[in-house]
A and B are shown apart, each in its own frame.
Chain A
Amino acid sequence: MCACSVRTFRDGDEEGIVGLFNEVYREYGGFVPRTVEYWRWCCLKRPDVERDGVFLAFDGGRLRGYLVAGSSGNVWEFCVADGEREAVGALLGEAVRYLEGVGVSSVNVNVPNGACVVEGLREAGFGEVPAERMFVSTLSPWMLVSALVASKRAELLGRFDDEFAVRLHDVPYGVGKEFSVRVRCGTVEAVEGFSAGASVVVEMGFVDLLSVLFGVSGARRLLFAGKMRVKPFRKSGAFLRFLSALRLKGAWFFPLSDFG
């Protein structure tokens, strides 16, 4: 017997929804962290979403999942607390009934690869189809590296005593070509421009740097293929370790509601 109850959206549910979303997807990258204001805009005020298409699953008064279905057939957000398979089935059942009533041809849901909801989707007759891809770039390599360096401050201080100056080539229009990172004497700092006093000088392609930072390709391969030049060469190992420390390793997920 299903212990969870499902009802449609009511004013005041936003806080719980936003809290659940940020909690369930806390380990993922690739999405906009939810605030009540953002969620109201991206889901509730979306032109194809009615309040009757927002379903919430509760277990003894505790919110265990929610689903936002639009009359275009897209499930803009589907979020269920780990292990709540009953909530998955109940929410999907309500959404499919609602969308059948609206008259759509098909229902689309996107979820993280391997998420607990995938089994529930398969049981409900959903099949995986090719997904839209997300593409990333930067308008300021220095700012991107700066954010990554700040999040790894303690780790970097314990492992390095260097100043890296990086010069990028094949940089897109309007993007800075140089940045430096100082990891020395208890300071971790990324600055724009090429530091004259750097102990390690690196030249590499803009796209290559992005590919390494986003975990799409390996830095070692770039070095051996001659696409990355490190001076002095004996510092190559230190720079490879530095890039490896900054590299984003977590899984990425974007809900459909962030898409448009």
Chain B
Amino acid sequence: MGESFVCRTLREDDKEAVRGLVESSFSIFLSGRFWDWKYPENPSFDQSLVAVAEEGEKIVGCNHWLLRRLKLSDSVVVNGVLGADIAVSPEYRKKGVGRALMQFLRSQQAKRKLGLIYMFANPELRKRFHTPVGGYIPAPCGTALYTKILNWNKVKRNVAAFNEKVKLGEFGSRLGKVDLTVVFRVRGAPPLCLHVDGKGVEADASEVRAGVTVTSDVATLSEIKGQEGTRWGMIGALLTGRLKFRGSLRKMFALYRNMWVFREILSGKIT
């Protein structure tokens, strides 16, 4: 295993394996019919723009490009490609498969003289992989993403995972004698009530008499989550009034001491 893979373009009989590899790598996004819709059913799909890495008979990696006409300004439209999903089998990661696939497609498509290649990526991965290999730079930033929370089902899933860890004794006696109810009132979302005691956490959306009430909005919560590990996001939000705490001094102190519980629950996906 290792450097013995070869790169080539996609063949009809690879589709099943490639679909499986992509779905297992991006299980949240690519379920069911997604791969078929995105690639073979795409009007601009070109099989020669999909590369696979093969070791023996096994497909261990794939890289998909999609032909696109992209508008650069009010008067400039260029032919380009969207560098879409790159997937590599877990046991073949960090062995240069992704780089080899990217270089293979670049060498194969050099004759097309495509004016633009673009992609969407996590900024960390872009710095580590895409810029050194493909020379990518951030596109002019002009898009804003807005979110509205309809329910707290994802937080409830985080609570269930937290309670599992409590049952397994992962937190030892850290929960101790805590008995605290915190209600989160996030603008535009239903209230979220988290009750913490020695047995774990209970979450519901009912209005109860809370020890502490936290009032904020999605943007502020997301900003605080994005600065995890530092307290500056929270301090800044408190000072500017975008985050408010209400409750008795005793309960506030209890919240401060048990902040790790809320950090543990809210650091996962909440929207």
Contact = CB atoms under 8 A, between A and B. Distances in A.
Interface of A: 26-33, 37-38, 41, 45-47, 96, 99-100, 104-113, 118, 121, 124-140, 142-144, 146-148, 151, 170-175, 192, 206-207, 210-211, 214-216, 248-254, 258-260
15 contacts: A27-B74, A29-B73, A47-B37, A106-B148, A109-B145, A110-B145, A111-B146, A121-B146, A125-B148, A130-B226, A134-B138, A138-B116, A211-B137, A214-B137, A249-B73
Contacts of B107: 173-174
Contacts of A109: 145-147
Nearest to A135: B136
Contact of B188 (A111, A124, A175): A124
A132 B106 contact: no
Contacts of A144: 78, 115-116
B140 A30 contact: yes
A200 B115 CA distance: 23
Interface in B90-107: 102-103, 106-107
Contact of A253 (B133, B143, B219): B143
B188 A125 contact: yes
Interface residues of B, number: 77
A211 to B, nearest CB: 5
Interface in B20-48: 29, 32-34, 37-38, 41-44
B154 interface: yes
Chain B interface, DSSP helix/strand/loop, else mixed: mixed
Nearest to A33: B71
Contact of A108 (B130, B137, B145): B145
B118 A134 contact: yes
B130 A135 contact: yes
Given A134-B119, A138-B115, A139-B117, A106 B149 contact: yes
B149 to A, nearest CB: 5
B228 to A, nearest CB: 13
A147 B78 contact: yes
Contact of A38 (B43, B117, B137): B43
A137 B115 CA distance: 9
Nearest to A129: B222
A133 B37 contact: no
